[in-house]
């Protein structure tokens, strides 16, 4: 986690270690510094990956389906940790997901794409209050946003079905 900022000479080794410990503590991982990745749960490894990325002070953080392999409970916890890290670092996060609940819960804007060729179909402004926690998922406004997104997605799914297109994973 500390290699990038030290090699870039943005932080001293001691400074990078202090920042890493601080970020680990903020994500509930205080005290794991000497553990190997194989000794951590998948959720813990995902949090370490996020901390490592933030240590390099990126302008934009690109996350492509980062929680796809996690169970529902771990994913829910990771959503809240990501929001906390966002509030702490205030970086632009470009988050790619097929999970509509995840998109609306995490985003300030949800961009719905068309079927091939992929183009922007609709941009939905997510005006849910921050800080957010899981209780927002049962709010009337969340339901309205989900319905709006589902309409746009359903249209694209029908087009894809009609043309015989299927997702290539």
28: burial class by Cβ within 10 Å (0-12, 13-18, 19+)?
Answer: middle
Looking at residue 169, what is its pLDDT? Answer: 42
Same structural domain, 85 and 149? no
Same structural domain, 12 and 88? yes
CATH number of the CATH domain containing 15: 3.40.50.300
In 3D space, the residue among 101, 104, 97 whose CA is nearest the CA of residue 64 turns out to be 97
Same structural domain, 4 and 87? yes
DSSP per residue, the chain? --HHHHHTTSS-HHHHHHHHHHHHHHTT-TT-TT--GGGS-HHHHHHHHHHHHHHT--SEEEEESTTTTS-HHHHHHHHHHHHHHHHHH--EEEEE-S-HHHHHHH-SEEEEEPSSSP-EEEEEE----SS--GGGGGSHHHHHHHHHHHHHHHHHHHHHHHTT-----
Same structural domain, 137 and 149? yes
Q: Give the count of domains, the chain.
A: 2
Same structural domain, 92 and 18? yes
| Mean pLDDT per 10-residue section of the chain, whose length is 169 residues | 92 94 88 91 87 91 89 87 86 93 96 90 96 93 96 87 65
Range of the domain at 163: 97-169
Of 41, 71, 96, the position where a domain reaches its end is 96
Same structural domain, 112 and 90? no
Same structural domain, 26 and 107? no
Same structural domain, 16 and 2? yes
Of 61, 96, 131, the position where a domain reaches its end is 96
Count of beta carbons in the 10 Å neighbourhood of residue 44 = 18
30: Cα separation from own chain's centroid:
21
Of 45, 68, 96, the position where a domain reaches its end is 96
Q: What is the pTM of this model?
A: 0.81
Same structural domain, 90 and 68? yes
Same structural domain, 10 and 82? yes
The answer to whether 51 and 27 have CB atoms below 8 angstroms apart is yes
Same structural domain, 2 and 55? yes
């Amino acid at each position: 986690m500390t290699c990038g900022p030290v090699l870039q000479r943005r932080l001293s080794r001691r400074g990078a270690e202090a920042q890493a410990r601080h970020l680990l503590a903020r994500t509930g991982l205080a005290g794991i510094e000497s553990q190997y990745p194989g000794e951590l749960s998948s959720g813990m490894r995902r949090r370490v990956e996020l901390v490592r990325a933030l240590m390099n002070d990126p302008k934009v953080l690109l996350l492509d389906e980062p929680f796809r392999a996690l169970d529902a409970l771990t994913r829910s916890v990771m959503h809240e940790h990501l929001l906390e890290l966002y509030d702490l670092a205030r970086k632009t996060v470009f988050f790619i997901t097929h999970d509509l609940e995840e998109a609306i819960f995490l985003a300030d804007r949800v961009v719905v794409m068309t079927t091939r060729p992929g183009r922007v179909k609709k941009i939905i402004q997510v005006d849910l209050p921050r800080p957010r926690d899981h209780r927002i998922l049962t709010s009337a406004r969340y339901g309205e946003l989900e319905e709006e997104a589902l309409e746009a997605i359903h249209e694209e799914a029908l087009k894809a079905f009609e043309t015989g297109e299927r997702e290539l994973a």
